[in-house]
Chain A
Amino acid sequence: MTYIAKPRLHHPSLAKNRVGFTRRDYEGKISTLCAGCGHDSISASIIQACWELDIEPHRVAKLSGIGCSSKTPDYFLGNSHGFNTVHGRMPSVLTGAYLANRDLIYLGVSGDGDSASIGLGQFAHVMRRGVNMTYLVENNGVYGLTKGQFSATADKGSRSKKGQSNNDAPIDLVTLALVMGATFVARGFSGDKTQLVPLLRAALAHQGAAVIDILSPCITFNNHSGSTKSYDYVREHNEAVNRLDFIPLHEEITADYAAGELVAVRQHDGSVVHLRKLHADYDPTDRIRAMSYIQEHAARGEVVTGLLYVDPEAADLHRQLGTVEQPLNTLGAAELCPGAKALEKINASLR
């Protein structure tokens, strides 16, 4: 962390995006996390992705639970509304917010304690319902704010800073998301922004429940040897299945790839995800295969990253409910109140 305030003035030569904002306009308050925290790299990636996607900052609502990761929404998109909710319950609050206004972009930020322990139920159910959101799990396998207890994503046999060994089986959030019906499932690494930024861009554009499990080492409590969530360990065991190019609707496809190397997935809104295959046999539109692939590699001690699954025909909660296009929070008495005459009819039916 730093205590030196960032200057408010921006250099006039800073590049602006299509909606007139510089990258700095997507920043937030100064982080209060530890220097070198993986979470700060994720915040920087979010800033980058939103700027590149030409999202107006105030059209994003960022919600979080409790924990180090859940503090981060204060550190990016400073002009957006944010909501630091209760521990493990961000998904329900976000669901309600999404019901109220389907027009905003919803970013849920959570950690492994928040999502895999206390909030495992809400994590699962928000996927089932297809809430149109990007759900980020900043996963470090440890409770930071309460100083170093194992979380439910810690691998069996992983050692804590104090030298204890973890005896419980880990929860793999990407597998769970796949089982629960998430329509965009990815895993990233906070130490690899080249991979993470395109994943974030594609997830933000996805019209359905998108989850990215981001391995984000805890520099203070979980970066020692013997930990399976340290920078070194993740770098050594990272098996990226693909590299992503995300092309929004308005951009032309310019990248040039050798034949057979590239998979193009067109999403519901018309945007295209281009995947450069790193593993020839990996098909990211096959949910069942994705699950077994992840498990096979996990058994070999490898952490599979990249875009693991995408359903281009994802349907979101509002579509399933059949609600009006106009956000519910903009409807007034004229649209909502049936009036005295209708009430008289109801009275008559109750006599």
Chain B
Amino acid sequence: MQKIEAVNDFVVKFANINGSGSASANELFARAILRMGVPVSPRNIFPSNIQGLPTWFEVRVTEHGYLGRRGGVDLMVAMNPQSWEQDVREIDPGGYLFYDSSKAVPRARLRSDIHVLGMPLTEICNDTYSDSRERQLFKNIIYVGALTTLLDIDPQEIEKLFGEQYKGKEKLFDSNLQALNLGRDYAREHLKPIALKVERRDRVGDMVFTDGNSAAALGCIYGGATVCAWYPITPSSSVPEAFERYAQKLRTDPVSGEKRYSIVQAEDELASIGMVIGAGWNGARAFTATSGPGISLMAEFIGLAYFAEIPAVLINVQRGGPSTGMPTRTQQADVLACAYASHGDTKHVLLFPEDPCECFEMSAQALDLAERLQTPVFVMSDLDIGMNQRLCRPFAWDDSREYDRGKVMTREALDAGTDFGRYLDVDGDGIPYRTYPGTHPTKGGYFTRGTTKNAYATYSEAGADYIYNMQRLRQKFETAKSLVPLPVLTAARYPARFAAIFYGSTGPAMQEALDALAEQGIYINALRVRAFPFQNEIADFIAAHSKVFVFEQNFDGQLTTLLINEAHVNPASLIPVLHYDGTPITARFITQEIAERVARLNVRPLRENMVA
């Protein structure tokens, strides 16, 4: 029988029961490999449930640093009888099955083309521990112990991690270490060695390992947000929760205990966006975090903020839709809903972070952009980067960086007799000046409304005033193009006729796919779009290629629609390639789709330097 052999390049999948404490043990496993200098990319695949339903944790060990989901499983750690059939089926031929053999499994429920490693985990736990919770929790640590032996993971690294986790809690440290060694000893004495190995490398460098939601929250701290209003919704709830955690440490006066931030858990998303808009109107930096259904509820308010020109930041951690959808699955399916959110003619600035580092950077930048442009700005994260820990560049901050508070007219300027028209374009960039409430006893006050107003914020239903306002807003959106992050080009080694456009969490899988395709002689120029409105670079890029594959994690090809509508590109040159089953897009999917489509377009590499 064939045996999958790999060093630092394989996928281990843990099948567990939700609520059994497996998540922290599995994370320990992933971190130990990281500490050996080998990149890993874990993904938590969880149900909308607190206890009892199946949950999976997939760890991709990847010396090359390919952090997208690979697809396929080399070693399955099957700890959940409920999902047994499915889990066993998923293992690649020649792969490995590690399972709890306390209860014998009939041969018919196994496969003949995989290597089976049984360990009587329940039996060992029942013999060692009397407390039922201990039996459950230490079972997880025991299997991690066994895996360290099987995969050659340095137990010293786990011991160090225990030391950090249980600092000052000697008892817990000892008991965990004991459980780990129990697993190690059993594996050494009873289990056949396998051909998947971890070897120490130096490929992690100064990268950090964190999730996009925490990073976005930290970005809001660094970006100067002082008001956070939110309503719990998966997968975004950990953004405000992390904001609170960071703010307690970083924004609380150590002496007086006074807080330089405020957080309100609102009664619904309508109230949370209302609070953000009220705070923005009043000159504080404010944000909310939500997911698709929340965006739908906020739509009316988003239109008001657009027309009344009030800064607001919305971090949208996208999930499967529509409606209540698949709250624990990932998608990029709110692109159109956010780009055009609300009734009337509205268009909004969107930012597409690729990983936690960009969640940090773009959340901080969004706060600047919102005030500069006086408009709602969306950070379009998703569950895959929001809730999974991902290896990424370390966070960086330039201490000389000032917050861009935008065009705010001061009391001094008003006293000097400066003409103040709240909706007057004085600089030709479409961005008017605003005053904060309470600025001046007799000047600069105005009444904020949606559309029925003139450039001086006086009530008006005159068509000419409406048109002036709309054209100015269009000018402002043009100005936005010069402020939002530029797309990032990954050029092929050879001149290429074909190209790919992608965005957000598709990034890592795409980079890996580009390498794999190049090995097959298929060379593709790839452009990662990082923002809407689209800069001219994007239209130029599309025009320079005969066909452009647009990779999206949604069903309707939403970015494709937006490109056709807003960048005015030739629809015939765009080929949407869509991945929308709720799981993160894989490099295997991208590679296969491109290879097949290129073949169908009858293009084959003839010689080494004449390429597709």
> Which of B446-454, B500-508, B576-584 sits within the interface?
B446-454
A97 within 8 A of partner (CB): yes
Known A101-B437, A324-B259; judge A333-B229 contact (CB<8 A). no
Cα A56 to Cα B417 in complex, Å, equals: 21
Q: Contact: A338 with B437, CB < 8 Å?
A: no
Contacts of A351 in B (CB 8 A): 34, 204, 206-209
Residue-by-residue, is A322-345 near B (CB-CB < 8 Å gives 1, otherwise 0)? 111100110111011111101100
Q: Which residue of A lies closest to B274 (CB)?
A: A92
- Say yes or no: is B396 at the interface (Cβ < 8 Å to chain A): yes
Task: Tell me if B271 is interfacial: C-beta within 8 Å of chain A.
Answer: yes
Instruction: Kindly list chain A residues whose C-beta atoms are within 8 Å of the C-beta of B283.
Output: 100-101, 329
A96-B276 in contact given A121-B268, A336-B226 (Cβ < 8 Å): yes
By beta carbon, the residue of chain A nearest B283 is A329
A78 to B304 alpha-carbon distance, docked (Å): 22
Interface residues of B in 279-325 (CB under 8 A from A): 279-284, 286, 300-301, 304, 308
Q: Contacts of B448 on A, CB cut-off 8 Å?
A: 81-84
A129 to B209, Cβ gap below 8 A? no
Q: Is the CB of B279 within 8 A of A97?
A: yes
CB of A238 closer than 8 Å to a CB of B: no
Is B251 part of the contact surface with A, judged by Cβ < 8 Å?
A: yes
On whether the beta carbons of A328 and B284 are closer than 8 Å, the reply is: yes
Task: Give Cα distance in the complex from A346 to B396, angstroms.
Answer: 10
B274 near A325: Cβ-Cβ < 8 Å: no
A93 and B445 contact, CB distance less than 8 A: no
B437 A122 Cβ-Cβ under 8 A: no
Q: Is B381 an interface residue (CB 8 A)?
A: no
Confirm or deny: B524 has a beta carbon within 8 angstroms of a beta carbon on chain A: no
Indicate if A73 sits at the interface (CB-CB under 8 A).
yes
A57 within 8 A of B: yes
Q: Contacts A58-B439, A338-B250, A343-B395 hold; do A92 and B259 have CB atoms under 8 A apart?
A: no
B449 nearest CB neighbor, chain A only: A84
Count contacts on A: residues with CB < 8 A to the other chain. Answer: 61
Q: What is the CA–CA distance of A343 and B357 in the complex, to the nearest angstrom? A: 12
A58/B440 in contact, CB under 8 A: yes
Task: Select the residue from A96, A323, A346 with max chain B CB neighbours within 10 A.
Answer: A96
Quick one: CB contact mask for B169-203 with A, threshold 8 Å, 1 for yes? 00000000000000000000000000000000000
Interface size, B (range): 35 or more
* Complexed CA–CA distance, A329 and B206 (Å): 36
User: Known contacts A328-B226, A337-B397, A343-B395: does B210 contact A350 (CB below 8 Å)?
Assistant: yes
Stretch of B216-224, B527-535, B549-557 with 4 or more beta carbons under 8 angstroms from chain A: B216-224
Q: Does A86 contact B (CB under 8 A)?
A: yes
Q: How far is the CB of A148 from chain B (nearest CB, A)?
A: 22
**Is B106 part of the binding interface, using a Cβ–Cβ cutoff of 8 Å?**
no
- Residues 114-157 of A contacting B (Cβ, < 8 Å): 121-122, 124-125, 129
Which of A58, A63, A73, A331 lies in contact with B260, CB distance below 8 A?
A331
A-B contact pairs, 28 of them (CB 8 A): A56-B441, A58-B441, A58-B442, A79-B443, A81-B446, A85-B274, A89-B301, A91-B274, A92-B266, A93-B275, A96-B276, A98-B278, A100-B278, A100-B280, A100-B284, A122-B270, A122-B274, A321-B259, A321-B264, A324-B259, A324-B260, A328-B227, A331-B260, A333-B401, A337-B222, A338-B222, A347-B394, A347-B395
Please give the residue numbers on chain B whose beta carbons come within 8 Å of chain A beta carbons, in ascending order: 34, 204, 206-210, 218, 221-222, 224, 226-227, 229, 250-251, 253, 257-264, 266-268, 270-284, 286, 300-301, 304, 308, 394-399, 401-403, 435-443, 445-450, 459
